[in-house]
Structure 1
Amino acid sequence: MLSFDVCNAARLRRDARYDGRFFTAVRTTRIYCRPVCPVKHPLTRNVTYYPTAAAAEAAGYRPCLRCRPETAPFCPAWNGTRSTVARALKLIEGGALERGSVVALAERLGVTSRHLARLFERHVGASPQQVATTRRVQRAKRLLDTTSDTMTEIAFRAGFGSVRRFNAAFADLYGRSPSSLRPKGRGRRN
């Protein structure tokens, strides 16, 4: 956390470089603000500084309706829809679409599946399901190159629900079977 003097000087200057790095809580109003808030400056003796909005709220302060601290840089709301997509990509990487549906993923993120599809189209250029399939194929391709596992073992380890879906995904992407992409002399046939 920055020192009281540094925070106070930045608040009094409304220095945008410190926006999101600390929050000003005013004891007399029980409100916390960003350092760039356009309201009249409170007396220095009435302010306390917190490193995060959550810390200010935990101390009993409520967010300012004028400067909207939840939109400060470095917070999820400031990142906007990219934050939702990033969270979705992390969940997909963790196997969310191997065990569940896009609808379940969207519910977990607090949006509708239709909205999630629009966000993916805008930020990723592909649907959540396409991203999941691409990641499964990439994982399977690495396993083909680095292991001696059977095609069935690779299909399930890569996250495919069936060997048939595994073969279809490779045919769609490469126009060939997975076994034809395996380096010669590696692996057992099944």
Structure 2
Amino acid sequence: MTSEEKWKRIIENDIDSDGKFFYAVKTTKIFCRPSCKSKTPLRVNVTFFDTKNQAIAAGYRPCKRCRPDLLQFNPSEDLVYKTKNLIDIYFNNSYDLEREIQDLGINRNHLNKLFLSYYGKTITQYLRFVRVEKAKLMLLEGSKIIESAFECGFGSVSSFYSSFKKETGYAPKLFIKIMKNNK
């Protein structure tokens, strides 16, 4: 592949060229993948490398945006995975959860669409699922319904009952009764 063909692929942010070559910007001393969404540098400032190790040996550091140093890098997948982990950690604290999700720095609607495409549930649906799963465990261990509701992050008993029934098909008391009879 000629230098001009490589340059054309950089301008087009050609993801199919990732791993086939890397480009480095002389003025910033940073190297990138051809698909990098960073501002297109001036052609005169660009040099090409066949491998990331060649770029590193020449004194260039990897771009923090496209992460050419990683074998695979999918920023959308990374954001969705971080969001899922935040929900798993902060499921019982809506305020902290919202703050942490905002700190990801992505539009909430866009994040919700990404989350839905990866997990088949919206952020709200997944949060409800996690809360109900935790509540089920608490109820089966003998916790009271009201205690389980608030410990798992529900704002009211009525929202707990509604969410519990959506997820399990049963009211909490009936769920406990059925589970105890199945032992």
TM-score (norm 2): 0.60
Q: Does 1:181 align with 2:175?
A: yes
* Deviation at residue 106 of structure 1 after TM alignment: 4.5
Alignment of 1:28-177 (within 5 A): 31-33=29-31, 39=48, 47=57, 53=62, 63=63, 70-72=66-68, 74=70, 78-95=73-90, 98-100=93-95, 104=99, 106-145=101-140, 147-177=141-171
- Checking the alignment, whether the CA contact within 8 Å between 1:33 and 1:69 is kept in structure 2 is no
- Checking the alignment, whether the CA contact within 8 Å between 1:102 and 1:129 is kept in structure 2 is no
State the secondary structure of the residue aligned to 2:132: helix
Same amino acid, percent of matched pairs: 24
Of 166-175 and 107-116, the range deviating more from structure 2: 166-175
d(CA) in 1 for partners of 2:28, 2:100: 37
d(CA) in 2 for partners of 1:119, 1:141: 28
- Checking the alignment, whether the CA contact within 8 Å between 1:102 and 1:128 is kept in structure 2 is no
d(CA) in 2 for partners of 1:73, 1:40: 13
Report the number of matched residues. 146
d(CA) in 2 for partners of 1:69, 1:155: 41
| Structure 2 stretches lacking a partner, 5+ long | 1-18, 33-45
| Structure 1 stretches lacking a partner, 5+ long | 1-15, 20-24, 54-62, 186-190
The residue identity in structure 2 corresponding to 1:84 is L
